[in-house]
Amino acid sequence: MRYQIRHALVQYGADTIIEDVNFEIRDREKIAVVGRNGCGKTTLLKLISGEIEMSNLDSDEKSGIFMQGKQRIGLQKQISFPDGSISARDEICKVFADLYAVQARMNEIETLLAAGKEEDDVRQRLLNEYASLQRRYDALSGDSSEREMEIMFQKFGFALEELDRPIGSFSGGQQTKIAFIKLLLSYPDILLLDEPTNHLDLPSIEWLEDYLKKYKNAVVIVSHDRAFLDRIVDVTYEIEYHRMKRYAGNYSAFVKQKEEALAKQEKDYEAQQAEIKRLSEWIEKWKNTPTKVSATRSKRKVIEHMELIEKPRRFDTDTFRAYFSPYRTSYSEVLNVKKLGIGYDHLLSEVSFRLQKGERLAVIGENGMGKSTLLKTLVGLIPPLSGSFTVGENVDAGYFDQQKAVINDEDPTQSVLENFQDTYPKLTNLEARSALAAFSFSQEEVETKIGQLSGGERVRLALCKMFYTRPNFLILDEPTNHMDIPGKEALEKMLQSYTGTVLFVSHDRYFIREVATGILDFTNGEVTQYPFGYDEYLREKEKRSTTEEVSKTPAAADTAASVSSAEIKNPGKFRARIERKIEKIQGQIAESEEKTRILQEQLADPALASDFEKLMEIQAEIDQNEKQQEDLLNLLVETEEELTTL
């Protein structure tokens, strides 16, 4: 057990955020914390990181926070850097301060030993210190740390040359990403992440998934990205009604367990209520009969001593309770895009695709290639750079821009109701309230000021405004950003039942899987349309990737080439080839490990204790050998993953 919270209460003023919290982190667990917006997930992360304290810290000896030893805890934050003039590289490399100190001392010792002026006992102490520093250097991944930093920097969507840009020249969102990179490179014992996939493109999200799965310490994640949680976590905590409950497994396992538990609770509750009713009716019938007094008293005691089962409480998961139908029906062809050049001052991508009535096309891929720019071009916010597009007959478009929805210049002192009525001034008060109620703004919540709305509530208001026009063609830019999971599920149901056409940009793979009937993929400088859903798209991409990999493998001879061709047609032979490759890599790893063992025995030989140059030579060979092992292990993992996809 790394970390434990027992019976915690957190209050802000008189408001209880979470109560009787029992939470623990064991070993290398990857933990998800889920719940509706405002339930206290971020509060929990702040409690773990020490930013806030329990409200009942001194009130009960059974409550408190306990750690195994000293745990380094790192919390992802949105920050700006105090010195904007230094480069991104210098800012990130601050996390390597300990490593650089070790390197500096090792260099000092090398210089002293090379001079050869120390007495034997001093020389031995220096050699011992150097060996200790070398182990520390290896533990800090000294040989690969800066390379890992460069890889991570690029995986977060930056160009490598941007490392030399002043940190102050990056946007607030980019600075938050750089702070995230620093956090990952600091490698805390407990890593706390709050919506880590926000504003990352799909390739970056997939890279982060792999990184966190292999992370050797504990991770606690607050996220509404269900696919992300399914791939990483092995424990899920839910916060509901100010309480927390632990479930084994990922998000999908949690949903199944919770539903089963609720079903059982409902069944047990109904059975108990039926029994109470039966006993009460018996008591009422015989209470005035002298011969039944004893039996009546006995049955009353049965009811009094029952441990009452609470009636299951279910949130209204249909966040949007009205499914809007289009005002009119469009013709079959909704949109025809031909070699459309998109961009601002330079071309980002050239796009061609067709969209038919009733289709729901997801636009996915890398950031910076123009996905949102495509939508802005289609709705006329920016002009095309080349090519053309045509909109079909009777097409009424509704456009949703999540950035404008969340960050806008509307009057923050207006109420939700006033804001909606400004958009639709002809509506009566009752009509406006009814429309807002369909998007879960209650009679009280419609009086909430715009400036007090959360990101998710702003999204709901913007969607309500758009849907009220009853368009038959929805153009949606990241509609699920800032939404909690119930909100996403409700929007999924809404779009699945929608009879119009949808074109949407999203990085939420679960949402894409549930909604999309087609994919428009922006990858590697190309834009490709796939006429099927997300799962089939993934299979097609995997098939193409495997075919390309095999075709690029140079044949040692004509017979080898013919075998490769046969393997493509015969998956069994292809599997056998990969299994042979795995055996070969495993043999190479074993040879390298044996060589390292022999070298380490030489390094420990007392006869070489004073031969600094020989020791340095052996150590350099060990380092080279361990680097080779690391490369072989990475190759082995990739090859084994390739085998699992067959």
**What is the number of other CB atoms lying within 10 angstroms of the CB of residue 253?**
16
Nearest to 155 by CA among 166, 167, 147: 147
Q: Is the dihedral of CA 178, 179, 182, 184 positive or negative?
A: negative
- What is the Cα–Cα distance from 153 to 94, expressed in whole angstroms? 15
pLDDT tens by residue, 590-634 = 888 888 888 777 777 777 666 666 777 777 788 777 777 877 787
Nearest to 197 by CA among 226, 225, 237, 227: 225
Greatest mean pLDDT range, 291-305, 378-392, 421-435: 378-392
Contact 147, 99 (CB under 8 A): no
Chain-centre distance for alpha carbon 642: 23
Distances in Å between the alpha carbon of 428 and those of 326, 417, 425, 461, 553?
22, 11, 8, 18, 70
Taking residues 501-518, what's their average pLDDT? Answer: 95
Residue 232's pLDDT is: 95
Burial class (CB in 10 A: 0-12, 13-18, 19+), 62: exposed
Taking residues 170-188, what's their average pLDDT? Answer: 89
pLDDT tens by residue, 328-387 = 999 999 999 999 999 988 999 999 999 999 999 999 998 888 999 999 999 999 999 999
Chain-centre distance for alpha carbon 198: 8
Taking residues 416-433, what's their average pLDDT? Answer: 92
pLDDT tens by residue, 541-562 = 888 777 666 555 554 334 334 3
Contact 192, 74 (CB under 8 A): yes
Taking residues 24-29, what's their average pLDDT? Answer: 94
Please report where in the chains the tokens 């193409």 appear, as a residue. Answer: 544
- What is the Cα–Cα distance from 105 to 113, expressed in whole angstroms? 12
Residue 644, pLDDT > 70, answer no
Q: Is the dihedral of CA 576, 581, 582, 583 positive or negative?
A: positive
Please report where in the chains the tokens 């009713």 appear, as a residue. Answer: 277
Does this model's pTM top 0.75? My answer is: no
Sheet holding 3-12, edge to edge: 15-25, 3-12, 64-67
Residue scoring higher pLDDT (525 or 342): 342
Q: What is the DSSP letter of 461?
A: H
Average pLDDT of the chain, as a whole number: 86
Contact 57, 248 (CB under 8 A): no
Residue scoring higher pLDDT (262 or 324): 262
Residue 569's pLDDT is: 43
Burial class (CB in 10 A: 0-12, 13-18, 19+), 147: exposed
Q: Which helix (H) or strand (E) holds 519?
A: strand 518-523
Residue 409, pLDDT > 90, answer no
Question: What Rg, from alpha-carbon coordinates, does the chain have?
Answer: 31
Residue 78, pLDDT > 90, answer no
Sheet holding 386-391, edge to edge: 347-356, 333-343, 386-391
Burial class (CB in 10 A: 0-12, 13-18, 19+), 509: buried
Nearest to 26 by CA among 221, 234, 195: 234
Give the number of residues written for the chain.
Answer: 646
Contact 527, 225 (CB under 8 A): no
Residue 555's pLDDT is: 45
To the nearest 10 degrees (0 to 180), the angle between helices 571-603 and 558-569 is 120
Contact 20, 62 (CB under 8 A): no
Contact 10, 55 (CB under 8 A): yes
Q: Is the dihedral of CA 10, 13, 17, 18 positive or negative?
A: positive
Residue 59's pLDDT is: 64
Residue 447, pLDDT > 70, answer yes
Q: What backbone phi and psi angles, to 5 degrees, belong to 58?
A: -110, 10
Sequence-separated (6 or more) residues with CB below 8 Å from residue 405: 458, 459, 461, 462, 463
Give the angle 101-105-109 at the CA atoms, nearest 5°.
Answer: 170
Residue 389, pLDDT > 70, answer yes
Spell 420-443 as b/e; 16+ CB within 10 A means b: bbeeeeeeeeeebbebbbbbbbee
Q: Indicate the SS3 state at residue 394.
A: coil
Greatest mean pLDDT range, 398-407, 428-437, 512-521: 512-521
Residue 568: pLDDT band (50, 70, 90) is very low
Residue 224, pLDDT > 50, answer yes
Residue scoring higher pLDDT (372 or 481): 372
Contact 405, 458 (CB under 8 A): yes
Q: Is the dihedral of CA 347, 348, 350, 353 positive or negative?
A: negative
pLDDT above 70 coverage of the chain, percent: 90
Residue 315's pLDDT is: 54
Residue 276's pLDDT is: 94
Sequence-separated (6 or more) residues with CB below 8 Å from residue 164: 87, 88, 89
Please report where in the chains the tokens 């490759």 appear, as a residue. Answer: 581
Greatest mean pLDDT range, 349-353, 487-491, 524-528, 625-629: 349-353
Residue scoring higher pLDDT (610 or 184): 184
Residue 500, pLDDT > 80, answer yes
Residue 598's pLDDT is: 84
